[in-house]
Amino acid sequence: MKNILIALLLLLSGSMFAQMYNPVKWNTSVEKISDKEYVLKAQAVIQSGWHLYGQYIEEGGPSRTAFTYKNPKKSFDLIGKTTEEKGHEVQDKIFDMKIKYFEDKALFTQKIKFTSDAVSNIDAEVEFMVCDDSNCLPPSSEELTFKIPNVKKVAAAEETIIAEKDSAVTEDKIIAEAEKTISKPVVGLVKKEESKGFLSIFIIAFLSGFAALLTPCVFPMIPMTVSYFTKQSKTKAAGIRNALIYGFSIVVIYVLLGSIVTAVFGADSLNALSTNVWFNLIFFILLVVFAVSFLGAFEIMLPNALANKVDSQADRGGLIGIFFMALALAIVSFSCTGPIVGTLLVEAASKGGIAPIVGMLGFSIAIALPFSLFAAFPGWLNALPKSGGWLNTVKVVLGFLELALAFKFLSNADLVLQLHWLEREVFLAIWIAVFGALAFYLFGKITLPHDSPLNHISVGRLSLGLVVLAFTVYLIPGLWGAPLKVISGFPPAMHYSESPNGIGGKSETTSKETLPEGAEYGPHNIITFHDYNKGMEFAKKAGKPVLLDFTGYACVNCRKMEELVWSDPKVLGVLNNDVVLISLYVDDKKELPESEQYVSETTGKKIKTIGNKWSDLQIKTYKANAQPFYVIVDHNSANLIEPSAYNPDIENYFNWLNTGVKNFKD
């Protein structure tokens, strides 16, 4: 009797704890362009605290938003792809990729053109996934209907204008009504994150500009150019003024380059390309070419005819002559600055918006600043170190860094294709080789084609060599499973590895004969069942309670729990020894046999996939639809303790597990 009462209380408390979420409301509208062309607009109004994922996310990440437009009679053509707003973009450490998401609102637009008589309605389906800081909902779909406004040719243009105006008012009303049912979002977050991103781009570009200054193509130009202005100018003030104009011209040239990239490729197109396999492969090849050039194999130069033509214009004098002198500097120094500028432009452009302009502004200011300062204070030239072999050393160091960075892009392509050619150990081995070679170079043990004879090592070069050597040694334990948090986000994640738990750790390739029927190794090599019935059967034989883990392959918070909480030795001990883990993936796309498909009693939707089945089980039994969701049950599927959702408090989660196990034994 006592146990029955406890079970009833736990069931009631579990029902109170569980929640059903519906944080996204979709609205549609249509904008008329001409009698044949229209723009379909789908607006997602998102509850505060939740975020909706974008359309362009790599495979292996969260479920992306996807639109399917139903066109059974082939009455229209889609013009281009469905576009989306800028949103937020972050480098997600859990999935080790760039992820784009939206908060508050998200507008998706699709241009269409009717090829025959226009229809009154266009039906579509949107699949999407939303998460907040502690929950992720399984991928969901919703039917959309776009009502096409009256397409009859009206006699007067005024009637057309009035109709379009009324349509816009209707759209505004729909969005306003949706906002009434959704709590107000936090404002200003997008601008704050964008400002932070642009600032980091500017700083990196500014430092890269200083690195470019210390190359053989640019550094010797500083005293030559400043001396030219001071000698050719009639007064000191005129010399300073001309040098300042020269510096400003450098800034204009590079910012113009950034503006061209932004205009040609658009604000967000390279952002989408950054997750593209071919983009990553091409950029890998480009960086390798740049690196080999910096190491001294050859020089990347613009045509001499172009340099001579620009140089001839520099003799014209006046403001135009000074501008062409700055352009001549950019062209002549291209063999050194080109690889750096190229890397910066693609990296900045991949972030979208005006990032290329911001990047080129930072880079050009760093280049122009010394020319202006030394023109104003010529005496400072005496403090500059003399040109020599150290300039080539800077160039070679940059070459090694470009080579190491190149493999990050090759790794991105490998991860998307899931080829497992460049797994974590291989990536780290390459980096150890690259930085180890750089350390030997700095210590004078390796000589490259353009190096001057090295009679002794300077203190600065020795110090840099020791730093690189220390970094190389730091990388080595990563081959045995060390997390290497300093370079988190560069190498592939731990699970994308020959030995996910490190060399010498418990291997996932352990013979399947040691596993119970229907089981496999899950996170941290915990024996896991993906089938509810087989897991229950094993639990009865083992005499252990069951931990139901409602999870998802694309669930960010599920991965956080597994990596941050389940990895704790105390928690891991309970999961390995005291419970039977059944992980039910609500986003498993495998279709159920037709005989097992059914219509849900709770949602009214047809259950077609394994993921649909487990999601329906969670909704029907626990009145909850968010993941992660953990339930400890006995062999009769009765709750032993109140269910738990996302809980990053290790001690709290450990106590929750222990209480469930204790209630089972009692």
Mean predicted confidence (pLDDT) in 505-518: 58
- Confidence band, pLDDT 50/70/90 cuts, at residue 202: confident
8 A C-beta contact, residue 28 and residue 123: no
d(CA 75, CA 71): 7
Q: Express each pLDDT in 225-244 by its tens digit.
A: 766 666 666 677 777 787 78
In single-letter form, the type of residue at position 548 comes to L
Point out the least confidently predicted range of 46-60, 259-273, 424-438. 259-273
pLDDT(520) > 80:
yes
pLDDT(162) > 70:
no
pTM greater than 0.85: no
| Percentage of the chain lying above the pLDDT 90 cut | 20
Q: Express each pLDDT in 617-626 by its tens digit.
A: 988 888 888 8
Point out the least confidently predicted range of 367-371, 527-531, 650-654. 367-371
Q: Express each pLDDT in 425-459 by its tens digit.
A: 899 999 999 999 999 999 999 888 878 787 888 89
The overall average pLDDT reported for the chain is 77
pLDDT for the residue numbered 131: 86
267/134: higher pLDDT: 134
pLDDT for the residue numbered 470: 96
pLDDT for the residue numbered 310: 58
537/359: higher pLDDT: 537
- Confidence band, pLDDT 50/70/90 cuts, at residue 521: confident
pLDDT for the residue numbered 213: 78
d(CA 354, CA 349): 8
Going by DSSP bridges, is the β-strand pair 527-529/130-131 parallel, antiparallel, or unpaired? unpaired
d(CA 656, CA 136): 21
Mean predicted confidence (pLDDT) in 574-591: 90
Q: Express each pLDDT in 299-333 by its tens digit.
A: 766 566 655 665 565 555 567 777 777 777 777 66
pLDDT for the residue numbered 397: 87
- Comparing CA positions, the residue from 302, 284, 395, 297 lying closest to residue 343 is 284
Using DSSP, state whether 108 is helix, strand or coil: strand
Which domains are assigned to the chain?
24-181 (2.60.40), 195-384 (no CATH), 387-505 (no CATH), 512-665 (3.40.30.10)
- Confidence band, pLDDT 50/70/90 cuts, at residue 272: very low
